[in-house]
């Protein structure tokens, strides 16, 4: 398995532009998570899905952020409009929710810079 695949690896955009981050989870995993990592705030859970359905989006900073999972093999995180304070590394992770001891598999992340 190729693991969790995120694209792009790096994104530089101007303030006010729309940004879309993409994630392909591991086949068969029924949970998908979006995290944001910054030096100031560490690792923050933004939203997670179970069987393509958003379960908890309480970590989404504001209405400028939205996430979708149209099918079991694809998810997007969109920021519109983007602001400099959105600059961070965004990680996607997937997992199976059954049994004990199943951790998450993380993607390599998307480093977003908003100028």
Partner 1 sequence: GNSVTQMEGPVTLSEEAFLTINCTYTATGYPSLFWYVQYPGEGLQLLLKATKADDKGSNKGFEATYRKETTSFHLEKGSVQVSDSAVYFCALSEKNAGNMLTFGGGTRLMVKP
* Binding residues for partner 1 (CB under 8 A): 4, 31, 42-43, 48, 50, 91, 93, 95, 97-109
Shortest Å distance, C-beta 83 to partner 1: 24
Shortest Å distance, C-beta 108 to partner 1: 5
The answer to whether the peptide bond before residue 25 is cis (omega within 30 degrees of 0) is no
Which residues, at least 6 apart from 4, have a Cβ–Cβ distance to it below 8 Å?
Answer: 23, 24, 25, 26, 92, 93, 94, 105, 106, 107
Stated as kind and residue range, the H or E segment containing 88 is strand 88-95
Shortest Å distance, C-beta 9 to partner 1: 9
Give residue 81's Cα distance to chain centre: 17
**Closer CB to partner 1, 1 or 63, in the complex:** 1
């Amino acid at each position: 398995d190729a693991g969790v695949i995120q694209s792009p690896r790096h994104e530089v955009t101007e303030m006010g532009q729309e940004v879309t981050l993409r994630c392909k989870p591991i086949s068969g995993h029924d949970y998908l998570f979006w995290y944001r990592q910054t030096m100031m705030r560490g690792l923050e859970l933004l939203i997670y899905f179970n069987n393509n359905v958003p379960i908890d989006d309480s970590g989404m900073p504001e209405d400028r952020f939205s996430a979708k999972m149209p099918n079991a093999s694809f998810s997007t995180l969109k920021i519109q409009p983007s602001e400099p304070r959105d600059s961070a590394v965004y990680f996607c992770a997937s997992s199976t929710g059954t049994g004990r001891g199943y951790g998450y598999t993380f993607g390599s992340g998307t480093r977003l810079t908003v100028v």
